[in-house]
Chains A and B, each alone.
Chain A
Amino acid sequence: MTLTPLLEPNWMRAILPEIVLSLSGIALILIDAFFPRIRPYLSQLTVLALLGTGFAVMRAPGGTYFGATWEISGLTLLFDLLFVGATLLATLFSREYLSREGLEGAEYYALLLWGTVGMMMMAKGLDLLVVILGLEMLSICLFVLIGAHRKIAISNEASLKYFLMGAFATGFILYGTALMYGMTGSTSLTQIGQWFRGTDQAGPLLTIAVVLVMGGIGFKLALVPFHGWAPDVYQGAPTPVTAWLSTAPKAATLVALVRIWHGLSGGPEPAAWGGLVATLAVLSMVVGNLVAIAQRDLKRMLAYSGIAHVGTMMIAIYVLRPESVAAITIYAFTYTLMNIGAFGVVSLLRKSQNDPQTLDDVAGLGFRHPFHGLALAVCMISLAGVPPTAGFIAKFYLFKVAIEAGATWIALVGILASIVSVYYYLRVVYYLYMKEGDELAVEPDRGVFSTAALAIAIIGIFVIGIFPTPLFRGALEAATLVLRVP
């Protein structure tokens, strides 16, 4: 490994999005401290910073940087946009939530921005260490954000839980990486991949390494049986943070997983450890959907539904190939839109964070507040995978890929699990439109920011649902590049 040409020309522009985000975060904190008069406009500034980042993302030159540890390609571009978009939506929902809960402060927004940097690093890292650094950066931001409600016990509990679990998970991944380094002599995913292509022996050490890495990633993705933290953390975290943490970090982890798995399998073939992935996928889909039925708390229900959705995306890892990476991309976009939309409506309900947000709180919302009701209904219908929403297209394409890869059985499991999921998603629609709310019914906040965010989510769900071709083509082209064998 040579150390000399560490800085390629253009390297500044390549990490410009990360630079913009990091500096904006610092600037927000300084503004909060020194210019109290600008304080009410923190969320607007955050939005501006994110728009600037989006611009920088679009202009980043493709290629590999920093001694082939950092990749900018079509795929990272798409996922960067996803992270920025998710953070943007979360910011838009945060404004009303924070002012209602009295939590306003620059650090909240700054942490969102820095967390986004972490996700970008995870998606771009070609080296396990870069991925782990990104993961840590993201996790630390999340520990604080989840506990942002300092005076509320469940928020503290959630933060502590996520911290302990997250620390363990990172430890697992690091230990696995160390073992892998011991075997292959490198932490670069490309070189690990080459090593695998050159050998056909898999010793017990390697198995331990893979299991450790998968276990750590399973924690981060909240896959069954590593999902225990998810419902409590989702419930305890400030709702816009939940919206954010349930979507974008999962997408980032999945991109990293695609790279790792690609390196391990030595080409777009079903992996040797496919059984492990398939087990995680099936368990998550089945357990997630079945347990979600029993939930009356909306955030806990969405937590279990999220477990099931990530399990569904794991099908694509199981049959890893360019098409399945495209499937993950479409699914991740879709899932981000519909899940943030759903959590967004929950975050707008004028109810203390300390009390559970149950199904009863949205009873009759569909007729009292048609727009909010419609938004939640559309998100639910999309989560259930009913056409013409994006949820249908995402599932459709994922199962299509699975069948084309010859894994019809796992698609069948996915379909059966979706049938179960229809029940609890529809139950929300039933509460929205078929139940009368009483006088104590919770009213939603209705500000410009949140309305815009909901509109983006609804429109996005229908646009992907009806015209998926551009996203699909971009994702497939990018995926083919990422999965090429050097």
Chain B
Amino acid sequence: MENLLSIVLWLPFAGAIVLMAFPRRAEGAVKITALIVSLATFGLSLAILGKFRTGTAGLQLGETLQWIPDWGIRYALGVDGISLWLVLLTALLTPIVLLSSWYSIHRWPKEYAIAMLALEFGMLGAFLAVDLILFYVFFELMLIPMYLIIGVWGGANRIYAAIKFFIFTIAGSLLMLLGILYLGWLHIQQTGVPSFAIADLYGLTIPMKQQVVLFFAFALAFAIKVPLFPLHTWLPDAHVEAPTGGSIILAGVLLKLGTYGFVRFVLPLFPDATAEWAWLFGLLGVIGIVYGALVAWVQPDMKKLVAYSSVSHLGFCVLGIFAMTGASMTGSILQSINHGISTGALFLLVGVIYDRRHTRLMSDFGGLAKTMPVYATLFVVTALSSVGLPGLNGFVGEFLILAGSFRTMPRLTIVATTGVILAAIYLLWLVQRVFWGPITNEENRNLPDIRWNELAAMLPLVVLMVWIGLWPNAFIRRIEPSVQQLLTIVSRGGEQRMILAGPAAAPPAPADREAQTRSNGAAR
């Protein structure tokens, strides 16, 4: 198992290729094969966890192959505390999605399974890649299956949502591509060799002016992905129109690429610009928290409510990242996982009643706890986890973020805290209107309770909610060393800026160096 990461990465891809050969009529075989492939991927990802050395900060299980050597592009994979749990979350959610949509995808089930596996391939690749171009390739690669999932299997207004999703994301990422190319050029100038390896790029000295421009080129791409207020408008559309499985993946994993990108690339690559502009992103994060919560409050549609709650919850993650303390950043990464679990579960549960009643309006329901007791129990637990009830996972993440952020951004943190209260209001209100009270709508009287496949999909998520809630240390221990190392890189950049800003040393140094490397380049 030398190439464990590669095996985990390519298994879903191989599965998708194999599925293409299946005849379209063999629906059952397609579903079972896809499920087996995704479960095997999850099993192997557990092996990554087993091999992961807790307490190590750097990249582990690394693999490197030359890909396009002339341009310094490598096929380089690795995993550290920042990406470990995201990889596992991705591997976990894919079988859950396949299970939950066992009966609900009627058109083209084979193509749906292929798209899901291709999507998993893209997501895993993005989290595992430690070469910037490789990351970019996977980052864009996953857009196509997601575009198809929303566009082919989505709701009434799916085309608009799918195209909006694609254009928003690609607009950001293409500008980031320009930034990546510029970084690569800087690397050639400063060292004479081309490289896009993240670790190499961390070592660049980038003049402040360029750093700010590059910072925004990257930050825009990830802010769209998170999505950060005011770039969030694609998200409610995409969520509402996407099929349940698409929503689960979108909320559970795709959005995490935004926060992951901030942590992995933006902060360590552009530490000075980050130090200068962190307040803006903290502020936007907090606006997102409050705005998302307020808008979620007034939604009549359950799925839209959950979608806006995503905007709110991810605001916490962004605040925690840009507060740049050990606790807040660890909390952000943990909260990314929590959000994937809780919100993924919420979308799954909303999908369950949508399949039965073909409506998601809260006013159409009421008193469901009497007809669907198991379902109601699961929903309440999930909602409480999303609210952040102590003992469940949401509490741990939010507490870490708020406690950590208070040290560096006290005023913003105070405002952010209202988000927790608002979350309790809108989610509990949802629970009250849908599950408690008398059954007002006769159609709800004979709804069948949760099915085997939905239960099988939900159980692991509920277990994790409790597990992380009661025993977060198992998770935090693996995240923390990497976060500490990252913060050293970021603060080192900050110190450098202090030196550069000093009166004598600053201006001539970079210019000299540039000229020197240029002449070196010419000599070669």
Task: Report yes or no: A433 in contact with B140, Cβ–Cβ below 8 A.
Answer: no
Known contacts A387-B137, A433-B151: does B68 contact A399 (CB below 8 Å)? no
The answer on a CB contact under 8 Å between B182 and A415 is no
CA distance A115 to B403 in the complex (A): 73
Provide the main secondary structure of the chain A interface: helix
CB distance from B22 to the nearest CB of A (A): 12
CB < 8 Å neighbour of A434 from B152, B177, B188: B152
Chain B: minimal CB distance from A480 (Å):
13
A13 is an interface residue with CB less than 8 A from chain B = no
**A388 CB within 8 Å of chain B:** yes
Residue A473, interface by CB 8 Å = yes
On chain B, the residues within 8 Å of A381 by CB distance are 144
Which of A403, A418, A429 is B181 in contact with, Cβ under 8 Å? A403
CA A473 to CA B71, docked complex, whole Å: 11
Cβ-closest chain B residue relative to A476: B70
Contact in complex: A403, B182 (CB < 8 Å): yes
Q: In the complex, are the beta carbons of B166 and A426 less than 8 A apart?
A: yes
- Which B residues are CB-close (under 8 A) to A430? 151, 159, 162-163
The answer to whether B159 touches A472 (Cβ under 8 A) is no
A163 at the interface (CB under 8 A from B): no
Contact with B along A63-90 (1 / 0, CB 8 A): 0000000000000000000000000000
Stretch at the interface among A154-162, A303-311, A355-363, A404-412: A404-412
CA distance A397 to B133 in the complex (A): 12
Q: How far is the CA of A213 from the CA of B114 in the complex (A)?
A: 52
Residue from the set A388, A397, A403, A433 with the largest chain B CB neighbour count within 10 Å: A403
A95 CB to nearest B CB, Å: 28
Give CA–CA (A403, B188) in the complex, Å. 12
Whether the Cβ atoms of B137 and A433 lie closer than 8 Å is no
A469 touches B68 (CB 8 A): yes
Residue A152 interfacial (CB < 8 Å): no
Q: Which residues of A (410-442) have their CB < 8 Å from a CB of B?
A: 411-412, 415, 418-419, 422-423, 426-427, 429-430, 433-434
Q: Of B144, B152, B159, which one neighbours A386 at CB under 8 angstroms?
A: B144
Q: Does B350 contact A (CB under 8 A)?
A: no
Task: Decide yes or no: A400 and B144 within 8 Å by CB, A426-B166, A433-B151, A469-B69 being known contacts.
Answer: no
What are the 9 tightest A-B residue pairs by CB atom distance, in nearest-first order?
A: A387-B137, A434-B151, A419-B171, A403-B181, A415-B174, A400-B181, A404-B185, A387-B140, A415-B178
Q: How many angstroms from the CA of A433 to the CA of B149 in the assembled complex?
A: 10
Chain B's closest residue to A397 (CB) is: B71
For residue A255, give the distance in angstroms from its CB to the closest CB of chain B.
22
User: Are A403 and B178 in touch, CB under 8 angstroms?
Assistant: yes
Q: Is A367 engaged at the interface, CB distance under 8 Å to the other chain?
A: yes
Pairwise interchain contact B167-A400, C-beta atoms closer than 8 A: no
Residues of B within 8 A of A447 (CB): none
Does A175 belong to the interface (CB within 8 Å)? no
B148 within 8 A of A: yes
Contact with B along A178-207 (1 / 0, CB 8 A): 000000000000000000000000000000
**Are the CB atoms of A472 and B163 closer together than 8 Å?**
no
Interface range for B = 20 to 34
B250 to chain A, nearest CB (A): 17
Q: Does A449 belong to the interface (CB within 8 Å)?
A: no
| Interchain Cβ contacts under 8 Å between A and B, 20 examples | A367-B111, A387-B140, A392-B137, A396-B133, A399-B177, A399-B178, A399-B181, A400-B181, A403-B185, A404-B185, A404-B188, A412-B178, A419-B167, A426-B163, A427-B163, A429-B147, A433-B151, A434-B159, A472-B70, A476-B70
Interface residue? B136 (CB, 8 A): yes
Say how far B129's CB is from chain A's closest CB, in angstroms.
12
B450 within 8 A of A: no
Chain A residues with CB under 8 Å of chain B are 367, 381, 386-388, 392, 396-397, 399-400, 403-404, 408, 411-412, 415, 418-419, 422-423, 426-427, 429-430, 433-434, 468-469, 472-473, 476
In the complex, what distance in Å separates the CA atom of A296 from the CA atom of B170?
23
| B108 interface residue per 8 A CB criterion | yes
Name the A residues within 8 Å of B141 (CB-CB).
386-388
Residue in A411, A426, A433 whose Cβ sees the most chain B Cβ within 10 Å: A426
B278 close to chain A: CB less than 8 A: no
* Contact status B68-A468, CB under 8 Å: yes
- Decide yes or no whether B184 CB sits under 8 A from chain A: yes
Assess whether A473 is in contact with B182, with CB atoms less than 8 Å apart: no
User: What separation, in Å, do the CA atoms of A473 and B69 have in the docked complex?
Assistant: 10
| B239 close to A (CB within 8 Å) | no
Whether, in the assembled complex, B428 has its beta carbon less than 8 Å from a beta carbon of chain A, the answer is: no
Judge if B175 is at the interface, Cβ distance under 8 Å: yes
Which residues of B (129-165) have their CB < 8 Å from a CB of A? 133, 136-137, 140-141, 143-144, 147-148, 151-152, 158-159, 162-163
Partner of A472, one of B68, B162, B167, B188: B68
Our pick among A388, A403, A411, A426 for the contact of B137 (Cβ within 8 Å) is: A388
The residues of A that contact B166 with a CB separation of less than 8 Å are: 422, 426
- In the complex, A469 Cα to B148 Cα: how many Å? 31
Given contacts A396-B177, A418-B174, 6 further A-B contacts (CB under 8 A): A381-B144, A387-B137, A400-B185, A415-B175, A423-B163, A426-B163
Alpha-carbon separation in the docked complex, A388 to B141 (Å): 7
Measured in the bound complex, the distance between the Cα atoms of B217 and A399 in whole Å is 15
A427: chain B residues within 8 A (beta carbon): 163
* A9 to B351 alpha-carbon distance, docked (Å): 78
Residue of A nearest to B169 (CB): A422
- Once bound together, how far apart are the Cα atoms of A403 and B182, in whole Å? 7
